[in-house]
Amino acid sequence: MSVGETHVRMNFWDSKWDLDEKQCPCDIHFNDWVKSEKLTGKTIYHFGTGTHHIIGIEQATNGANNVVFGITASPEEYRTYIQLVTERPQISKSYLCYFGDIYLTNPRLLPAFDIVALFHLGEFIDESTTTPQYGGLSDLGLTRALLENTRTGGNVLIYSESFAHDRAEAVADEIVKAKEIAYVGKFEKLVIYRKV
């Protein structure tokens, strides 16, 4: 550290999420939506992989030629990704997961996306992460940063039963009003928008 620089610890989730369809079916619904829409050759951004990595695994193995770029702030979920691709290395050709705080996203480090799954938007933000010292984005800033890398006509999805759905919906409403995205509809418990 240079003189005057203060060390700030990364905001991470010191827990994990195993697949529980009854409590949180969003990842299962996402895979069902991709299948129902017959989406192929798409680049997908996925916020919150879980230890199950079901979106990455399904899209890497279903023959649809989709690729998934996932982020987790849980060290345990990241460890399960390392174990997954160590034991099944072919999955790593279509599914990349990284460990980090999504609110520190830099669009310059990301590829172009066709689909952005923000099922956990607003759930893990810590008010201290938006301070100048930490340099994190707000939920609105994060969504706009990801939209920078989303192709026109691409989709942004949120989860209607997230405990922070009101925050995610408020962000989506603001971006709809700015005519950056348009409401498309619902699929199961997912709310779908299209970049305009």
Report the pLDDT value the prediction gives residue 1, as an integer from 0 to 100.
41
Segments of the chain with pLDDT less than 70? 1-7, 12-13, 15-19, 22-23
Is the separation of the CB atoms in 48 and 72 below 8 Å?
yes
Beta partners for 159?
A: 190
Q: Which domains does the chain have, with CATH numbers?
A: 26-160 (3.40.50.150)
CA 23 distance to own-chain centroid: 18
Report the pLDDT value the prediction gives residue 41, as an integer from 0 to 100.
98
Report the pLDDT value the prediction gives residue 133, as an integer from 0 to 100.
84
- Is residue 39 helix, strand or coil? coil
Identity of residue 70: G
Report the pLDDT value the prediction gives residue 163, as an integer from 0 to 100.
87
Report the pLDDT value the prediction gives residue 24, as an integer from 0 to 100.
76
Count CA within 13 A, CB hemisphere, residue 9.
5
**Residue 75 burial (CB < 10 Å; 0-12/13-18/19+)?**
middle
Whether the pTM exceeds 0.85: the reply is yes
Is the separation of the CB atoms in 30 and 157 below 8 Å?
yes
Report the pLDDT value the prediction gives residue 147, as an integer from 0 to 100.
97
